[in-house]
Amino acid sequence: DADVTQTPRNRITKTGKRIMLECSQTKGHDRMYWYRQDPGLGLRLIYYSFDVKDINKGEISDGYSVSRQAQAKFSLSLESAIPNQTALYFCATSDNYNEQFFGPGTRLTVL
Amino acid sequence: AQSVAQPEDQVNVAEGNPLTVKCTYSVSGNPYLFWYVQYPNRGLQFLLKYITGDNLVKGSYGFEAEFNKSQTSFHLKKPSALVSDSALYFCAVDQENQGGKLIFGQGTELSVKP
């Protein structure tokens, strides 16, 4: 089984809808991250969490919110989706300063 | 502010030739540097990292990278490219005591032709 899983893998939605992307990990890491990937821009950090009680905004948090339900679960929500939030979204986990482990990604399209 | 630059959007190499994917960075403190690879329709996979110590670091799949503090560079290299190395490569930097907040370059598409 994959160490970091994301659901759904693909989602098409309409402008104004609320969307939740979920991430689960079995690596036992305290740190979890949400990124979005856009062509030519690399990955940009949306939110990150260093433990269950710690939530921090990243570079591009506007229009997004997160919930850390447990050490293993970190969800990303778009309260009212807009077309420029169409992107590939990745969840990642890490153990302190070591490398991050990425999920397979969620491709989100907002019409 | 931290930043990472990958000056080449695409690198083309013939199979068997050496390859280099360039990365330069800017941080105010000691850098933690990483290379990741992304294959089509997949998440990012860790290749190697530099935290401290020997400037030449070796990683997965025969890749290596050299940390050059004076040139603020961390170029990815491989002595002999394989067609299966074709993928999107990302350089990333974290700053000491910043707690794992990676800043990624925009990515370099590596194409290895037979």
pLDDT tens for chain A, residues 1 to 111: 579 999 999 999 999 999 999 999 999 999 999 999 998 888 999 999 999 999 999 989 999 999 999 999 999 999 999 999 999 999 999 987 678 999 999 999 999
Q: Which pLDDT belongs to residue A107?
A: 96
| CA-to-CA separations, B95 to A27, A43, B45, in angstroms, rounded | 24, 17, 20
Q: Which pLDDT belongs to residue A1?
A: 57
pLDDT in tens, B47-99: 999 988 899 999 999 999 999 999 999 999 999 999 999 999 999 998 666 66
* Interface contact A50, partner B, CB < 8 A: yes
What percent of chain B is modeled with pLDDT above 70? Answer: 96
Q: Which pLDDT belongs to residue B98?
A: 66
Task: Give the closest-approach CA distance of B42 to chain A in angstroms.
Answer: 5
List residues of chain B with CB under 8 Å from any CB of chain A: 4, 9, 32, 34, 36, 42-46, 49, 51, 90, 94, 99-107
